[in-house]
Chains A and B, each alone.
Chain A
Amino acid sequence: MHNASKHLLFILAPLVVVFALLPGVYQNHLLLFNFVIFLILAQGVNIIYGFTGYLPFGYVGFFGAGAYGFAIMVMHLQTPAPLAVLVGGAVAVVLGLLLTPLLRLSGAYFAIANLAASLAVLHFVANPALEGITKGPYGVSLTGTFNPTHAYYAAVVVMALTVGAVVYLKNSPFGLALQAVREDAVSASMAGVNIIKMRVIAWLASALVAGLAGGIYAWYVSVFYPDNVFSGEFSIFAIVFALFGGVATITGPIVGVLILYGIYNLIGFTTPQYFQLIYGLLIMGLVLFLPAGLVSLATRRGWHVP
């Protein structure tokens, strides 16, 4: 069987089936929803960081833009929720297009500029001067579209598309070329690869999935403030989950989310500062002792990890 079909059958299909069925047997739907959202975001980070090497430290900017794209459509134009989610994705892509000049920056410069960009978008959206459009810092309430069940399944669909995209990258010359650009842009251009086009496509794809996730998140929670949907934790968690599992693989980010977000929920909510301490130490340990992620434990032994 072709590798891509194997990956779709043995990784993507079970993941979708499990998350489609779990709400029937497990009561904490919000938790399941958050898992799906983080699976999308971690794979989105995988697309841009794993395959092209740009660390999106302000990744949440796209998520928040998607959430506000959704909210503005619903508040001002009474758009049906699924359409508003698509608009959320489109808003994130437009933001991504505006930020394409950042791709000229490399390494830490890109990461920092991206972080600054996400904070700029937050302060822009939260500005009281824009209260008429975004409700400024006072938050939005979208009770009209409130439907967590539909939102949940929409999230599963977007997750399936995102993981599908990563399966494609892992099994196509396009994905290889992206990695070639990451490894050495000059050599890649001398292999005939249009490096600017490749980077922009990967960047916009990762923006799109985060925007869709943000729109669905807004649909699901229906009441939120700028600080919620632009919280730096989304960026950090998505990056740490993806890294913990191992980027530039299909399974790494999935394993990362399932394990780390699982731990988070076991120890997380009671005493936030102890949690923050454990989390910080975990991140440090990860970078120092397992910089290539959990999957490197297997690849070091010569096993192939999809």
Chain B
Amino acid sequence: MTYALVAGVLFGLYFSLVGIGLNLVFGVMRIVNLAHGDILMLGAFIALGVVGIAGIDPLFAVPLAFMVFVLAGVLLYWVLVPRLQGSANPEMLSIILFFGLSQVIEAVTTIFAGTSERSIQSRLLGTVFSTIKVKLFGGKPGGAGPIQIFGQGFPAPWVIAAITSLIAIGLVYLYLYHTRLGTLTRAVMSRRDEALATGIDVDRVSAAAFGIGLGIAAVAGVFAPFMFGSVTPAFGADATVTSFAIVVLGSLGNPLGTALGGVVYGLCYMLVQTYLSSWADLLPYVLLIVILLLRPSGLLGRRVRVA
């Protein structure tokens, strides 16, 4: 039980990281990024590349993936979104547009990388810490072993992913509440039309949010090989649905609600895995529907989605 709960919280923090970028994009632009999972998948491939080519700790892929996808996101924003916003029903069409994008990403990845499952030995993650430890305090070099929490051992990558997630969520909070661009971002999220009317450069704010959203997704992707065992180019589609479950659980349009959504999701996930494993596959979907119907605004949040 303790094991399931702690593992649930660790996974939950990671799930928050998985969902938060999607939510940022939806909250600011009312765009449903169905390619979100594919960005995660690409983040995982960056981690694979860092290990395969450079042979260093995959943690170095975190800043790399973030920077690459912030740039890619801003570029992509300018190519796709203004045209989309000009159409009659941007929210609906965005679903289809980004589905197309996800197909393109999946196809290109398959062309270059094939369809085989890829994984990274989990002891490679965090070697940078043990190396530093060895340099400073001496001791045996090698991979990080299981980490003890409440007397139970948990794989080090879970803990590292959870800590990274906490840091990332903290940074998103700082961005939204303590920077000028972040304040404007929140203004656009709450009333896009009024923000436009008051002369806020909505496009600049949105492009930044889109870039950051994709960047965070890619960072989450770096940890995907450790959290889910392996990745394939087709991993993206499942990751997208899971992300939606998490985001809706928290509240669509409220990025910080996603942190809560992720933890709740992680706990449910681990408890179902432990006690009802044959039905675990159903969980994200059923949870998503039940939450949408019973509490349409998510666990936190405003009523925005009832027809």
Consider the complex of A and B and state whether they touch directly, i.e. have CB atoms less than 8 Å apart.
yes
Cβ-neighbour of A110 out of B100, B103, B286, B307 (below 8 A)? B307
- Find out whether the CB atom of A277 lies under 8 angstroms from the CB atom of B248: no
* B167 CB-CB contact with A under 8 Å: no
| Chain B residues, CB < 8 A from A138 | none
Give B248-307 interface residues, CB cut-off 8 Å to A: 248, 252, 278-279, 281-282, 284-286, 288-289, 292-293, 296, 305-307
In the complex, what distance in Å separates the CA atom of A127 from the CA atom of B279? Answer: 7
- Find out whether the CB atom of A119 lies under 8 angstroms from the CB atom of B285: yes
Cβ-neighbour of B95 out of A57, A105, A276, A277 (below 8 A)? A57
A109-B292, A276-B107 given as contacts; is B241 within 8 A of A119 (CB)? Answer: yes
Per-residue CB contact flags for chain B residues 95-117 toward chain A (1 = under 8 Å, else 0) read 11101111111111011000000
* B152 CB-CB contact with A under 8 Å: no
Quick check: which of B65-73, B83-91, B127-135 contacts chain A, the rest being far away?
B83-91
| Chain A residues, CB < 8 A from B245 | 116
| Chain B residues, CB < 8 A from A55 | 92, 95
Q: Chain B's nearest CB lies how many Å from the CB of A49? A: 8
Give B62-83 interface residues, CB cut-off 8 Å to A: 80, 83
| Chain B residues, CB < 8 A from A239 | 96
**Size range of the chain B interface in the assembly:** 35 or more
Give A276-303 interface residues, CB cut-off 8 Å to B: 276-277, 279-284, 286-288, 291-292
- Find out whether the CB atom of A112 lies under 8 angstroms from the CB atom of B282: no
Per-residue CB contact flags for chain A residues 108-142 toward chain B (1 = under 8 Å, else 0) read 11111101110110011001110000000000000
Cβ-neighbour of A274 out of B91, B111, B244 (below 8 A)? B111
In the complex, what distance in Å separates the CA atom of A138 from the CA atom of B88? Answer: 44
- Find out whether the CB atom of A109 lies under 8 angstroms from the CB atom of B285: no
* A107 CB-CB contact with B under 8 Å: yes
* B45 CB-CB contact with A under 8 Å: no
- Find out whether the CB atom of B307 lies under 8 angstroms from the CB atom of A104: yes
In the complex, what distance in Å separates the CA atom of A258 from the CA atom of B101? Answer: 23
* B93 CB-CB contact with A under 8 Å: yes
* B26 CB-CB contact with A under 8 Å: yes
Give A91-115 interface residues, CB cut-off 8 Å to B: 101-113, 115
| Chain A residues, CB < 8 A from B91 | 107-108
- Find out whether the CB atom of A111 lies under 8 angstroms from the CB atom of B95: yes
- Secondary structure at the A interface, as helix, strand, loop or mixed, is helix
| Chain A residues, CB < 8 A from B307 | 103-106, 110, 185
In the complex, what distance in Å separates the CA atom of A291 from the CA atom of B89? Answer: 9
* A236 CB-CB contact with B under 8 Å: yes
Cβ-neighbour of B306 out of A105, A282, A284 (below 8 A)? A105
| Chain A residues, CB < 8 A from B104 | 276-277, 280-281, 284
In the complex formed, the residue of B with least CB distance to A284 is B100
- Find out whether the CB atom of B97 lies under 8 angstroms from the CB atom of A284: yes
* B237 CB-CB contact with A under 8 Å: yes
In the complex, what distance in Å separates the CA atom of A109 from the CA atom of B30? Answer: 11
Which of the listed residues B80, B87, B279, B288 has the most CB atoms from chain A within 10 Å of its own CB?
B288
- Find out whether the CB atom of B101 lies under 8 angstroms from the CB atom of A284: yes
* A169 CB-CB contact with B under 8 Å: no
Cβ-neighbour of B88 out of A232, A280, A291 (below 8 A)? A291
A276-B110, A288-B83 given as contacts; is B285 within 8 A of A116 (CB)? Answer: yes
| Chain A residues, CB < 8 A from B248 | 109, 112
| Chain B residues, CB < 8 A from A286 | 96, 100
5 A-B pairs with least C-beta separation: A280-B103, A283-B100, A280-B104, A106-B307, A277-B107
26 contacting pairs across A/B (C-beta < 8 A): A55-B92, A101-B293, A102-B289, A105-B306, A106-B307, A107-B91, A107-B92, A110-B307, A111-B95, A113-B293, A116-B286, A116-B289, A117-B285, A127-B279, A128-B278, A276-B110, A277-B104, A280-B102, A280-B104, A281-B100, A283-B100, A287-B87, A287-B93, A287-B96, A291-B89, A292-B88
